[in-house]
Chains A and B, each alone.
Chain A
Amino acid sequence: MANRDHPQLIDSHEVARVAGVERQPIRNGGWDEIGAAVRSATLPAMPLIAARALTKRYSGGVTALDGLTLDVEPGIIGLVGANGAGKSTLLKILLGLIKPTSGSVSVMDMDVTTQGTQIRQFVGYLPEHDCLPPDLSATDFVTHMGRMAGLPADASRERTAEVLRHVGLYEERYRAMGGYSTGMKQRVKLAQALVHDPKLLLLDEPTNGLDPAGRNEMLDLVKRTGTEFGIATIVASHLLGEIERVCNFLLAIDGGKLLRAAPIASFTEQTGTLAVDVEEGAETLVRRLADHGLTATLDGSSVLVDLPNADPYDIVRDTVDELGLGLLRLEQRRHRLEDLFSERVGARAGDAEEESAHDAA
């Protein structure tokens, strides 16, 4: 299924089934399986990430994280926030690249400040910025990074061949990376993050600079890596659509504070509002519905009806019919991820700019 974008890849199970050959099951446990395995391995249930009052103030006076407290279970976690909301800072603290000003955070039950080296052996990181030496080939570079993660030389070479194939890099891998397209570079960046088979993958804007097709491929790759291979993944992005497509859990931060942490589904669940679209005469409809005792408001061209305990569907239908209006749409509204930020982003635009300037420095 996920292989449809890579026709040259053969699904091992499919082949094994067709050929009637028994083989070792490869690791492709779904999320429940992995979560259960992780939970049973360490009792009581161990959060993937546990932050307590985590605060980071940069020397310039910018507060990137402001008393962040959260517990995250394994999964594909979307980390969203406007530019400068503190996403990269949080990832860098998890990696031990920068030290928190105060508060504590642990990854896989290991403290970031004291057990950074142990943690980093099991963490893969895809930075937001370019990080590939132009004079090296992808093979040489990824092999080198595998060894930096502690793999023996031979193992690192084998894993490099595997992960480069996994990310869809074939003959190009022997060429110097200076000549790669942005799409190929992002693939190499993902490969180097995967080469040591991490337990946790931190992806900072993995679709940065990609065209729509490249974006889709990268997102598929991320989703496949997270779901089929059971690698806990945190995807930082300012694009809600991407998060919605790939992740099953969402962390929304804004101004260094936790806005919300919940399964994606709960963000997009149905609201208590019924949206009615009619061809014309929306104002009339609002008035008439009010006469029937319903709370109706006009939102653009749609009429929004509050859903009381009683069922308003029949009343709406009859009212529309009564007025002789053409009914276009009648549906229960869903929350959109955008709603989460719509009121807040504007207010913080100034701060965000200031901080992204700091990031660039």
Chain B
Amino acid sequence: MTLPDARPAGRSGAIYDLGYQGYDGQRLGRRAAIAALFWSSWRSAFGLGRSGKSKIVPWGVTVLALLPAAVAVGITALVGDAVQPFTYDNYLPQIAITLSIFVAAQAPELVGGDQRNHVLSLYFSHAIQRIDYAVAKLAALTAALLVLTLVPQLVLFAGKVLSTTDVLTALGNEAPKLGQILLTSLIYSVALAIIGLAIAVFTPRRSFATGGIIAFFLVTAIVAQILTSMDAGDISRYAQLIDIDQVLIGVTYTIFGGPGFSFGAARNPPSLTPGLPGIAYVGALVAILAVGIAVIVQRYRRVQA
């Protein structure tokens, strides 16, 4: 298909204008460009429009994030309400490692290639500005993570409602939980996206970025664990605040309250060290995110294009 503008049948001749044409149509400007960059980045987070190979990791991890919810719904359907392995309080902590893997694998995909292939100079010479690029990429990774955080919880929600005999009543009972589902998903997605990008923006090398992100999650968790188990007074008490998983659990716990983690104390990884007020977790999260955003913005303000 290289011939546009074919005349209707019945005419003996057709004119094909294959020369360069001017463009007098709309120019939507900066906002549209940011939106377009957001969508294309979101698609590339899942390897959409790319080769089959680049879909394996994101789709595999997405399935891993969804699987527990799907299985839980299946079990509930078969056995009934008696067994409920997951609640809205503990689902995201349970799949935290899966989420970290997604960030480690796909954050470099979003920002590394543009640096590696020197595409940044093209972006920055178009309608968008440096800060816009950072915002679009951050929004795209957040939106991609929302698929992994929000969808499984909605599956749980649908399962709970549909497995009852009186669907309408169940819907009425569960509906208030939608706010919690949405907000916890958003908090997790934003936080992990910011941390992942803040590390990934520093290197065009994909393997370095992925390694760096995994190392960050591992090292902070291990250091927090060691310090917490030491008998060092306040240091031990506050050490958990450098472990992003603990901080996220603390924040959602603070906001939505309740014991929440109903999946049996022994197999319950998110055991909160008692004694820290909720505000400490919220403050820690705000601090981590502020530093992350500052790092990203600063990087794109200075990066050579």
Contact = CB atoms under 8 A, between A and B. Distances in A.
Given A26-B17, A130-B118, A192-B122, A148 B33 contact: yes
**Which of B23, B33, B305 counts the most chain A CB atoms within 10 A?**
B23
Given A132-B117, A147-B32, A229 B126 contact: no
B22 A131 contact: no
A152 B121 contact: no
Interface in B186-237: none
A12 B19 contact: yes
A72 interface: no
A61 B144 CA distance: 43
B125 A16 contact: no
Contact of B27 (A10, A21, A151): A151
A262 B49 CA distance: 48
B18 interface: yes
Nearest to B132: A117
Given A26-B21, A125-B125, A131 B305 contact: no
A148 B36 contact: yes
Contacts of B27: 121, 149-151, 196
Contact of A150 (B32, B114, B119, B121): B32
Interface in A19-38: 19, 21, 23, 26-28
Given A150-B28, A170-B2, A145 B122 contact: yes
Nearest to A202: B125
Given A19-B13, A148-B127, A166 B50 contact: no
Interface string B15-39: 1111111110111111011001100
A225 B117 CA distance: 27
B180 interface: no
Contact of B123 (A148, A176, A194): A148
A145 B126 contact: yes
Contacts of B51: 135, 176
Interface string A133-156: 111100010001101111111010
B117 A130 contact: yes
A229 B22 CA distance: 8
A152 B32 contact: yes
Q: What class of interface size applies to chain A in its complex with B?
A: 35 or more
Nearest to B29: A150
**Which of B30, B51, B117, B305 counts the most chain A CB atoms within 10 A?**
B117
A121 B29 contact: yes
Contacts of A166: 19-20
A358 B46 CA distance: 37
A228 interface: yes
A127 B18 contact: no
Given A121-B27, A121-B29, A131-B121, A144 B20 contact: no
A150 B18 contact: no
Contacts of A161: 2, 4
A163 B129 CA distance: 25
Given A97-B125, A120-B127, A133 B36 contact: no
Given A161-B4, A165-B18, A150 B122 contact: no
Interchain residue pairs A-B with the least CB separation, the first 10: A197-B23, A147-B36, A148-B126, A12-B17, A95-B125, A125-B125, A27-B22, A150-B127, A150-B27, A166-B20
Given A131-B118, A148-B126, A197-B23, 6 more contacts: A27-B22, A147-B32, A148-B123, A149-B33, A150-B32, A166-B19
Interface of B: 2, 4, 13, 15-23, 25-30, 32-33, 36-37, 40, 49-51, 54, 113-114, 117-119, 121-129, 305
